[in-house]
């Protein structure tokens, strides 16, 4: 077993999640890289890159669907068996869909909520149970951390993203209540809320918005970042991973819980 503290990051085969696992490896964590089974090649690539740079055994890969309670439990069990006690769970996996609310189907709604809300619930609860069973960490080590991916969409409504906004609002709310319940177990629970980030998910959003609003590919992303972001640029995944891996997963955040840290370059002001 690895002597480094173990962390799981869901949806880390690409995008923000991938950036987070690299930052955590730099910070001295061993990592479980997770994504769905159809992204197994991406999982393997990230694991190989981490192990090459930080030493064999630093990272493992586990394909699992976060909307399945059984698969999340299996992922945690496998991580503990191979890497040691779980110290950090980051429920990063999420999906989006651009559509008018009038055009949404119950199936659309269920698909978004199964990943974005039920997936976070599964990760939070199973991770907390594992952490509680492990008992207190030694005093000079980082404590238990549970983190979830919210979004600026949990603060600011966006047309054509109604069920996505609802799902991220639910993540914020559950994080706050779960933080209160977990405080007596010395587990902190927080969210991070990215803005407009140049990832594959936002590329998909950009393409659909362009179709609906009559803009060329790439122009919606540019327009949103220029019109909405005080810093005047599209965010990159590293903007988020610095906050998540560098602060929220460090001892500097020992007294921070139930919060949603916005990393958006100045779109929403809380």
Average pLDDT over residues 204-208: 67
pLDDT, residue 138, reads 84
Q: So which residues are the catalytic ones?
A: 164, 168
Average pLDDT over residues 3-22: 96
Average pLDDT over residues 46-65: 98
Task: Tokens for 173, please give them.
Answer: 């709310």
Show the domains of the chain with their CATH numbers.
6-195+235-263 (3.40.50.720)
Average pLDDT over residues 179-198: 94
d(CA 81, CA 87): 13
Task: Tokens for 194, please give them.
Answer: 């990215």
pLDDT, residue 3, reads 79
pLDDT, residue 202, reads 66
Give me the residues paired with residue 60 across strands. 32
Over residues 128-140, the pLDDT tens digits come to: 999 999 999 987 7
Average pLDDT over residues 170-179: 98
End-to-end CA distance of the chain: 42
Q: How many CB atoms lie within 10 A of CB 218?
A: 12
Of 1-15, 170-184, 218-232, which range is least confident?
218-232
How far, in Å, are 119, 156, 197, 223 from residue 99 at the CA level?
A: 22, 17, 20, 19
Task: Tokens for 261, please give them.
Answer: 């840290």
210: pLDDT strictly greater than 70: no
Single pTM value for the model: 0.93
How would residue 223 be classed by pLDDT, with cut points 50, 70 and 90?
low
Over residues 231-265, the pLDDT tens digits come to: 888 889 999 999 999 999 999 999 999 999 999 99
Average pLDDT over residues 108-116: 97
pLDDT, residue 1, reads 42
pLDDT, residue 58, reads 97
Percentage of the chain exceeding pLDDT 90? 77
């Amino acid at each position: 077993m690895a002597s480094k503290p173990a962390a799981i990051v869901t949806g880390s085969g690409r995008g923000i999640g991938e950036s987070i696992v690299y930052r955590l490896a730099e910070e001295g964590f061993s990592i479980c890289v997770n994504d769905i089974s159809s992204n197994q090649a991406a999982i393997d690539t990230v694991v190989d890159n981490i192990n090459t740079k930080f030493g064999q055994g630093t990272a493992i890969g586990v394909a699992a669907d976060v909307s399945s309670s059984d698969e999340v439990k299996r992922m945690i069990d496998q991580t503990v068996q191979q890497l040691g006690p779980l110290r950090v769970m980051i429920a990063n996996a999420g999906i989006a869909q651009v559509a008018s609310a009038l055009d949404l189907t119950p199936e659309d709604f269920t698909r978004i909520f199964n990943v974005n809300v039920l997936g976070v619930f599964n990760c939070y609860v199973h991770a907390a149970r594992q952490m509680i069973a492990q008992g207190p960490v030694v005093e000079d080590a980082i404590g238990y951390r549970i983190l979830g991916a919210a979004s600026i969409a949990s603060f600011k409504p966006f047309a054509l993203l109604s069920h996505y906004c609802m799902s991220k609002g639910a993540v914020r709310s559950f994080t706050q209540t779960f933080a209160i319940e977990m405080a007596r177990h010395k587990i902190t629970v927080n969210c991070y809320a990215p803005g407009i980030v140049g990832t594959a998910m936002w590329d998909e959003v950009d393409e659909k918005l362009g179709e609906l609003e009559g803009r060329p590919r790439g122009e919606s992303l540019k327009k949103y970042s220029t019109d909405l972001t005080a810093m005047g640029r599209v965010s990159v995944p590293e903007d988020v991973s610095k906050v998540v891996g560098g602060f929220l997963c460090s001892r500097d955040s020992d007294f921070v819980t139930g919060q949603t840290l916005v990393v958006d370059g100045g779109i929403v002001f809380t």
